[in-house]
Amino acid sequence: MTVTDGTARAGAELQATVAALARAASIESATRDLSEIDGYGALVPAGTDVYVAWLPRMPYHHVASAARRLREVGMNPVPHIAARQFASRDAAADFLARLRDGAGVTRALLVAGDCEQIGPYASSADFLASGLLEAHGVRSVGVAGYPEGHPRLDLDALDAALDRKIAQASGRGIELFVVTQFCFDGDAILAWLARLRARGVALPVRVGVAGPTRIRTLLAYAARCGIGDSIRALRAHAISLPHLLAEHRADEVVRRIAAGGPRPGVAGLHCFPFGGFAQAARWLGAAASGPLPRA
């Protein structure tokens, strides 16, 4: 085999891995307009996991309604469950009953929630321990992963929290997986994955990436979410108004993740559509069907 043949084969293998990650992708929706969901079927394949973001001060009834609408248009709704936002156990049970009966929800993303605790649950581990999830038919649960650390918790605290959630889920027949915070540095994601596996954590991982978005918008979201060192590289390129208005794409991050071939336990991408659902869905479709363009 010639060098040219080897390069072509490596390129084809890389693209095949990128395409597999994109075909298995989930995507997030934060829409407040439920009628927007009616168009999702033309943008992503039937049965796609569409996560329903629970924004601060949004009533849980809206999340349940969005989940029901997603099911009606052929998507698999995966609602966020923000533990701290429940005022009571009864409120949490009502929410989960609405998800089960109205939307057939069996999978959810469990987070503590970016708000002050207003009820009995201080953390996602506390909510797991309540028994409400399995009582309402939720058997597949995502938890958050932080490739660049957490703005308020150190590494030991993050490890301990994940271990506690794994123990709680294991005892309750719940299958856990991890959805990572979006990140602009493929090497940071790979290092985090390697450390996770070295600790003996074998949970499936969905790698969070930002959909096509203006750099100015991404910087605002990244600052709000406490994204770590990789934001410095993004800022370094956003030194003038034209750069701030330019579009950032996660192509290079995805290629870096795929470069070593299929990664153990990487279930696919998870796309945060800060530039809009339609734009993110089209980007995922392009990645699933053809080579991503080079910058």
Average pLDDT, the chain: 87
Q: Is 295 among the domain residues?
A: no
Locate 112 and state its tokens: 């503590």
Q: What kind and span of H or E run contains 282?
A: helix 277-289
Alpha-carbon dihedral angle through residues 93, 96, 100, 103, given to the nearest 10 degrees: 140
Report how many domains make up the chain.
1
Q: Is 294 among the domain residues?
A: no
**Range of the structural domain that residue 98 is part of:** 3-287
**Mind giving me the DSSP string for 232-277?**
HHHHHH--SHHHHHSEE--HHHHHHHHTTSSPTTEEEEEEE-TT-H
| pLDDT given for residue 229 in this prediction | 61
Percent of residues, the chain, with pLDDT higher than 70: 83
Q: How many helices (H) and strands (E) does the chain have?
A: 12, 10
Radius of gyration of the chain (CA): 19
- Within 10 A of 252 (CB to CB), how many other CB atoms are there? 14
Cβ atoms of 277 and 32 closer than 8 Å: no
Q: Which residue has the tokens 């009502």?
A: 94
Separation CA 273–CA 271 (nearest Å):
6
Residue 161 has pLDDT above 70, yes or no: yes
Residue 293 makes CB contacts below 8 A (sequence gap 6+) with 251
Beta bridge partners of 63: none
DSSP structural state of residue 61: H
186-245: pLDDT as tens digits: 888 999 999 999 999 999 999 999 998 887 777 766 666 556 565 655 555 554 444 444
Highest mean pLDDT among 9-13, 140-144, 242-246, 263-267: 140-144
Q: Given pLDDT bands bounded at 50, 70 and 90, which one contains residue 113?
A: confident
**Mind giving me the DSSP string for 169-194?**
HHHHTPEEEEEEPP-S-HHHHHHHHH
Q: What kind and span of H or E run contains 140?
A: strand 140-145
| pLDDT given for residue 242 in this prediction | 43
| Nearest C-alpha neighbor of 70 from the set 13, 23, 30, 20 | 30
Separation CA 98–CA 70 (nearest Å):
14
The CATH number assigned to the domain holding 164 equals 3.20.20.220
Cβ atoms of 53 and 32 closer than 8 Å: no
Q: Is 292 among the domain residues?
A: no
Q: Is the dihedral of CA 215, 220, 225, 230 positive or negative?
A: positive
Q: Which residue has the tokens 């009571």?
A: 88
245-286: pLDDT as tens digits: 446 678 888 988 988 555 668 999 999 998 799 999 999 999
Amino acid in the structure at residue 235: R
Q: Is 129 among the domain residues?
A: yes
